[in-house]
Amino acid sequence: MWDGYCADPFVLRTRDGRYVMYGTTPSPLPEGRAFQVLVSDDLDHWDDVGGALVVGGDDPPGTEYWAPEVAFADDRYWMYYSSGIGDQGHRLRVATATDATGPFEDLGVVLTPDVPFAIDPSPYLDGDGSWWLFYATDLVEGDRPGTVLAVQRLSDMTRLEGEPTIILRASAEWQRYEADREMYGGVHDWHTLEGPTVMDDGAGGCLLLYSGGNWQTPGYGVAVATAPAPQGPWHEDPDRGPVVTSAGTGLIGPGHCSVLTDGDGTRHVFLHAWDPTLERRRPHRLRLHVHEGHVSVGHPDAPPEQDSTGEGNSHG
């Protein structure tokens, strides 16, 4: 697909049938932009068109910009992302543009001013026409302290309504990020859920794909949860692990995915994985199959009954 660095890939189909991919880069791009932008007509061949987000302004030196996702509403494109320094103090922000490739201009709005840490925002439009924002935040209380998943309704494209609802927290050892991690003035056996993306399940409910574990290791993977509505309650099968793994795909640390429905109605999962040198996180495309609430993920040309492991790995 694309040999350059493009982590946390999010792919959007525009009104004219183009596909636009956005992703995190380890440093700012030329012209003072953040977030790699790639365009394609066929999902296989991608062209680099530069950076998406104009950065600078009041952001302090060393600010990092993570995990953009874009929604189209009110004849504009709205980019949601986080900014912070290193892994500290990330807040959710919003920028807007008239074209899917940008330039996106930040609106000066912090969506999560009262949340100490928030990353990986993912907008979702429900069947009633309401927008929701899923994201990851930190929660120290409980048996498995760490990064959890939350949701809030968007009252408009620039404001969140009410308080965050925690929808999913770690429940298994594969979600462990690091033992004895120093966080929030204590030492914790830290677990991580992040990178949420939500879609309709075809039966009136919702499916959530999320990433768990340590993004720097081959143990990183993607799992599934289900709910009747965006605000939950969300459930995952306690006997099932991730549906996308290094062992099953041959990729190194696959994770942080987005879901795209192409012009033919086929669903695809885009995620990143490390290159063989462990220097770059590159985007990859897998085929997503959803049948009667069961999910399987495989290579693009695999038949529906066979996922990337060849064993019909699924979650219902």
Residues labelled as active-site residues? 8, 194
Which three-class secondary structure string do you get for the chain? CCCCCCEEEEEEECCCCCEEEEEECCCCEHHHEEEEEEEECCCCCCEEEEEEEECCCCCCCCEEEEEEEEEEECCEEEEEEEEEECCEEEEEEEEEECCCCCCEEEEEEECCCCCCCEEEEEEEECCCCCEEEEEEEEECCCCCCEEEEEEEEEEECCEEEEEEEEEECCCCHHHEEEEEEEECCEEEEEEEEEEEEEEECCCCCEEEEEEECCCCCCCCEEEEEEECCCCCCCECCCCCCCCECHHHHCCEEEEEEEEEECCCCCEEEEEEEECCCCCCEEEEEEEEEEECCEEEEECCCCCCCCCCCCCCCCEC
d(CA 84, CA 65): 7
With CA atoms as reference, report the closest residue to 67 among 151, 124, 123. 123
